[in-house]
Structure 1
């Protein structure tokens, strides 16, 4: 068994206001979704790392109106490798853990860190910085009953330092805390494996044993490179980049992957397929539930 307990979609504010997020939640409820990952940093909930209490209260009121199981995506710009912003990153992440607890969300997504090519002097300690910060955050999250999910990301610029999916798994194992799990983003792994010439399935296997959260969306695993599109649909037309397409639009072998891999107990399968593909979401929900049963 894959140990997947829930399947759902992500949701975000389209304009920084609660109303657009609320409308998306209402739409997801109408198609039978019962689990939602909230991109909370699409709202102004924190300032200087502190919770804006009036807005946090509005969030709680809104989320309480729906019967969803919630998970939370933290800062998309999260980066525990960068020594300059690390103190601010950690403070913000701890505040997000507190918000998680208030709305009953058990997972907080944290992106794997990175260094740009010109941060040569910071490279030697990057992995240790990230591990230490993750250990501190996981310990903080424990009494709140929140698990930190460390997500594999792909290289986005020349000379950038990022960990491979297998290295993300090794980081989770090194921290060795029950409130830290790996998050497999399959498309991210596919793109990074293409870029580095790695075996896609071997990298997924390395992550699976410590993975407690999944991001699912389709692509062709092709790095976007220097290509610049006019409309985002042109990237889809060429199959370039991290496309977040409906299941079946790309060429990821979902059935083969889910038939083989086993994840940690309590894993949530979260589809990062947003309302651009509202017409395709119901079919994706059916297929994802089937994958969870493989």
Structure 2
């Protein structure tokens, strides 16, 4: 790993929920030489009813044995600490199970999404759910600290107008209110662009607010255009340039170089590539591009 840049990694692929199927993508990433790998816990059958499936965890451990990477992990997308309080315990149990797996496998970061709720909720309802989310992250942050894992809360976007979720600047405010050493941010640049497009916000202002808290960065390209047009295939979405496409860097039009210069990233940030499974033919060129962006960010973030 170069001492002149932040670390660069990529999210591994697995098939049919089986941990052993991660080996093919790990072989490719080892050949290319990424610094880290993000383990896709969200795609793996590792947890049942909030309990870790120990036999499956052992399969994953064996797949990782002897590999040269540092690791991060991505918890389930559906975890939502702004859920109906009746279901909150289910979300917390799954988050705890994924945190236990992350710690067991030596993951430095565990990414999980910020919360969301229906867009028609009244302001007092929304504020109460934000309170619930902060309280939950504070408790989980203490558990993460004891486990040696940093929780990195990822900004998402209002999918086709059917959910309300924090903008990047709102997420930054929430994280500052939580004010916990082991509850930081994951800045997803494409998600930020899509959210700004749907709400008419300024991408530079929104992304810049989250940069100083972003120990983890998800880097993949798109056209920052909300996916409100019905599509039938990934190829149609690409042709129209709509939605969260997870493209190789340079295939879309996101201003990565400008965004990573908006402020200083935290020390030891990880820039992690999240490439659509149909675009893995371009993984090597994407790693090269991501290293260039990470180097720009590092130069911007060095002390004067």
TM-score by length of 1: 0.94
- The aligned counterpart of 2:181 is 178
Secondary structure, counterpart of 1:220 in structure 2:
coil
Count of residues paired in the alignment: 291
Question: Which 10-residue stretch deviates more, 54-63 or 142-151?
Answer: 54-63
Counterpart of 1:188 (choices 181, 187, 191) is 191
- The aligned counterpart of 1:19 is 20
Deviation at 1:65, TM superposition (A): 3.0
Alpha-carbon deviations, 1:177-234, whole Å to 9, x = none?
0001011100000011111111100011111111111000111111011x22222111
In structure 1, distance between residues paired with 2:277 and 2:7: 20
In structure 1, distance between residues paired with 2:162 and 2:56: 39
Deviation at 1:159, TM superposition (A): 5.2
- The aligned counterpart of 2:36 is 35
Q: Does 1:135 align with 2:138?
A: yes
Say if 2:168 and 2:207, in contact at 8 Å, map to a contact too.
yes
Secondary structure, counterpart of 2:159 in structure 1:
coil
Distance 1:90 1:32, change over 3 A: same
Q: Extract unaligned runs of 5+ from structure 2.
A: 297-304
Say which structure is richer in helix: 2
Say if 1:115 and 1:161, in contact at 8 Å, map to a contact too.
yes
Deviation at 1:4, TM superposition (A): 5.7
Secondary structure, counterpart of 2:86 in structure 1:
coil
- The aligned counterpart of 2:288 is 286
Alpha-carbon deviations, 1:147-185, whole Å to 9, x = none?
000100000143522111101111110000000101110
**How large is the RMSD of aligned CA atoms in angstroms?**
1.7
- The aligned counterpart of 2:217 is 214
- The aligned counterpart of 1:269 is 271
- The aligned counterpart of 1:52 is 53
Deviation at 1:107, TM superposition (A): 0.5
Larger RCO, structure (CA 8 Å, separation 6 or more): 1
Show the 5 A alignment for 1:62-73.
62-73=63-74
- The aligned counterpart of 2:233 is 231
Secondary structure, counterpart of 1:72 in structure 2:
strand
In structure 2, distance between residues paired with 1:170 and 1:60: 37
Say if 1:4 and 1:268, in contact at 8 Å, map to a contact too.
no
In structure 1, distance between residues paired with 2:5 and 2:192: 20
Say if 2:39 and 2:71, in contact at 8 Å, map to a contact too.
yes
